[in-house]
Chains A and B, each alone.
Chain A
């Protein structure tokens, strides 16, 4: 706790120290801005959903506060630093300060921008503003799209080329960099086997391209990304499993080896997971205050069969009614066949009681299935934005999630799986920028 408070102190002190420097002496303009969301979410279920939500309610999923310092040294060079305080990515209980952005920009011409430092990866339509709730209508960006990848910020560089047309602005962004994050492995408990939620530190090297067209009313976005992720503190035998091999005990009876503590050869594993990600999205005006928005993402994990391969996306319709902007959305996240096949085979494998220690073996099958990051969930949501003014906004949403066969967003209760559940989530938030 002391370490975290010290980290928070360091970040705030650094930002305030920068703010206290009189950059105008060097001909620089400085501006300090901030954003915050106080968000409460509660479900009708006793187990955790999206890490934090249960029937006790939580402020953790949506609440966030941050600040941004922009220093324009001249028209060409500027420095941007953004820090935030939000739930930790390495613990379900901690609140951590984090440096989200910190980059130097060089804009030699109107249409070219170079950035070096910690920059945000342009995965989604709202990648850059996803922490700033006052800048979009949704009470919560659909997890089926916006949680597909944990690597939102990279330490590296990006180049942005802009073409200005009468109809709007076309932007091509290329980036490359490295990021350090955590992979959250859901906990499970199948008598007599149980494991707590674990966070594995990861290092990802990624690069990609994003093309965005933006007019006064509409935005279109497509992107492609290539990434290589490794676990930074995993030892041999504890890297990324490729698949769970089937061990036959007798004709028609066997088990999937899901742990190296079970008999048989070591599980096949890779030290580096290679993932390709493609996204597409649009946010368009239909006239008369109606807006239609939607995004789609495809994750293709090239070298393992029990990875996060999936198709995800959402479609939403909203209507501007003065200060109000009610909306309706449908979102879906579906693991690809190879992941779902492996999940279903392991999950449905039953070792008959005639086999010695069948109870433990059956528990290993459920535990193994639970360790596969598989998804088959759909969420319907209705909500509304209420703009007090351009910088202060209230939001409310009612979302119903059907977890389908399986959803790794659910921390399932003891001896149960995450599938076939209906979860109602109510969210309320106050969002401000200043």
Chain B
């Protein structure tokens, strides 16, 4: 009985941990304008490389991260396998390479604030007034 309780409490903790990731927000360098979800999707799928004469530099977090999975689900409408598969084909048809990958939110915030045209995404709990939010999930 104790074992079952332990398993159940572990499962509840695991579910809580999964759901504790807050809203994902898309942030951009201060020169990047606000945009809708469709535009963000096209940027992360390589279909848009510049916007209002600004050369865009999107970045992802590493494959498997909770933030990335949630971003792909909400903003791109694909899971990790589909997204990787999409870029594998796109790379081998000579239409570009997937966005660069950074290790964590700190690296993304540093990159976005210091690089013109940069775009990334973070958990909303990490937002500060200095960050330029360009898109949010609806």
Q: Which residues of A contact B (CB under 8 A)?
A: 29, 31, 33, 35, 68, 70, 72, 74-76, 78, 80, 82, 101, 103, 105, 107, 109-110, 113, 115, 119-120, 128-129, 131-132, 134-135, 162, 164, 169, 216, 387, 389-391, 433
Partner of B93, one of A72, A129, A164: A129
Note all chain B residues with C-beta closer than 8 A to A134: 88
List 8 additional contacts besides A75-B57, A110-B47, A390-B84; criterion CB under 8 Å.
A35-B92, A70-B97, A75-B50, A107-B49, A110-B48, A129-B89, A169-B47, A216-B77
Q: CB distance B47 to A128 under 8 Å?
A: no
A74-B55, A107-B49, A109-B50 in contact; A132/B92 too (CB < 8 A)?
A: yes
Asked if B110 lies at the interface with its beta carbon under 8 angstroms from chain A, I say no
Q: CB distance A110 to B88 under 8 Å?
A: no
A72-B97, A120-B94 in contact; A135/B88 too (CB < 8 A)?
A: yes
Q: How far is the CA of A29 from the CA of B98 in the complex (A)?
A: 11
Q: CB distance B94 to A101 under 8 Å?
A: yes
6 CB < 8 A contacts A-B: A76-B55, A82-B92, A110-B48, A110-B50, A128-B93, A390-B81
Note all chain B residues with C-beta closer than 8 A to A74: 55
Partner of A80, one of B49, B56, B88, B94: B94
Q: Which residues of B contact A (CB under 8 A)?
A: 42, 47-50, 55-57, 77, 80-82, 84-85, 88-89, 91-97, 100, 117
Q: How far is the CA of A75 from the CA of B51 in the complex (A)?
A: 12
Q: CB distance B94 to A119 under 8 Å?
A: yes
* Pairs of residues from A and B, 5 with the lowest C-beta to C-beta distance, nearest first: A128-B93, A75-B55, A390-B81, A390-B84, A70-B97
Name B's interface SS.
Answer: mixed
Q: CB distance B94 to A75 under 8 Å?
A: no
Name A's interface SS.
Answer: strand
Partner of A31, one of B47, B77, B92, B97: B97
Q: CB distance A135 to B47 under 8 Å?
A: no
Q: Which residue of chain A has its CB nearest to the CB of B99? A: A29
Q: How far is the CA of A113 from the CA of B95 in the complex (A)?
A: 9
Q: CB distance A391 to B84 under 8 Å?
A: yes
Q: CB distance B92 to A128 under 8 Å?
A: yes
| Chain B nearest Cβ from A223, distance in angstroms | 14
Note all chain B residues with C-beta closer than 8 A to A164: 42, 47
| Chain A nearest Cβ from B100, distance in angstroms | 6
Q: How far is the CA of A115 from the CA of B93 in the complex (A)?
A: 12
Interface centre among A80, A82, A115 (most CB of B within 10 A): A80
Note all chain B residues with C-beta closer than 8 A to A82: 92
Note all chain B residues with C-beta closer than 8 A to A75: 49-50, 55-57, 117
Note all chain A residues with C-beta closer than 8 A to B93: 128-129
| Chain B nearest Cβ from A255, distance in angstroms | 51
Note all chain A residues with C-beta closer than 8 A to B57: 75
Q: Which residue of chain A has its CB nearest to the CB of B38? A: A166
Note all chain A residues with C-beta closer than 8 A to B77: 216
Q: Which residue of chain B has its CB nearest to the CB of A171? A: B95
Q: How far is the CA of A132 from the CA of B55 in the complex (A)?
A: 31
